[in-house]
Amino acid sequence: MTAAGVIESPVASAIEASRRSRAGALIGYLPVGFPSLDESIDAAVALVENGVDVLELGIPYSDPVMDGPVIQKATQASLDAGFRLRDAFTAVEKIRARVDAPVLLMTYWNPVVQYGVARFADDLRSAGGAGLITPDLTVDSGADWLTESDRTGLDRVFLAAPTSTEERLRLAVENSRGFVYTVSTMGTTGARAELGLAAEKLVGRLRSVGSTSACVGIGVSTADQIADILGYADGAIVGSALVRALAEDGVDGVARLAAQLATGTGR
């Protein structure tokens, strides 16, 4: 925290730095433990070494309602290989020992509750993590997380969707720290050839209720899409395309794709 008691956000700082030096931030998602814990750590490090500004590590979950087939397959493979929640903290700690980019965990809320919200926050903070993205937790049902994230100084990223009401958008903006996860289109994750105008309109609505850090995800898979998104948003989030590259071509493949995607931040 600052001397005035305001919690500083490492994610917001990284995004702001990317806006000063380039068009905006590139945020990369990979699941922990795929194809193995060590390889997932190496792959995350490779993302940062090839232009990713903020890491988003997914915690494998048995009922991933928001995830598309590429991510579902990878997270199921991680679970089948014996993933345990403590592996996520191990991954964060080892990644942070090698690169300086902030690391967010993306998780459905049930694993956090089962682990214990306060204990989860403490362990994530101790590992060097920046905070959480919580796709199935709304602000009005997240009192425990609001309390614990304030206590530990962790970032919290809530989602905004094209179907969200103005009041929901305002709550997401007022309570997110780091950025607001701007869902480009309704449906599950997965690369899409066209994103349409929904994301740009949604960012405009978020700006109208006070957002200063909106990052667009779901369907982003090319440098051209990233360049387009950074014309109106603060960051672009890529997931399925990176997971597919890791599955097909290993750490070297995901590194090459990250470097290619990063070219979109400089246009």
What count of residues does the chain have? Answer: 267
pLDDT tens figures, 17-35: 999 999 999 999 999 999 9
Model pTM score:
0.93
Q: What is the mean pLDDT of residues 126-140?
A: 97
Q: Which of 266, 243, 264, 262 is nearest to 56 (CA)?
A: 243
Catalytic residues: 56, 67
Give the range among 61-75, 209-223, 252-266 with minimum mean pLDDT.
61-75
CATH topology of domain 10-261: TIM Barrel (3.20.20)
Question: Strand ranges (DSSP E) for 86-190?
Answer: 103-106, 131-133, 155-157, 159-160, 180-183
Name residues whose C-beta falls within 8 Å of residue 233's C-beta, 6 or more positions apart in sequence.
Answer: 24, 182, 199, 200, 203, 214, 215, 216
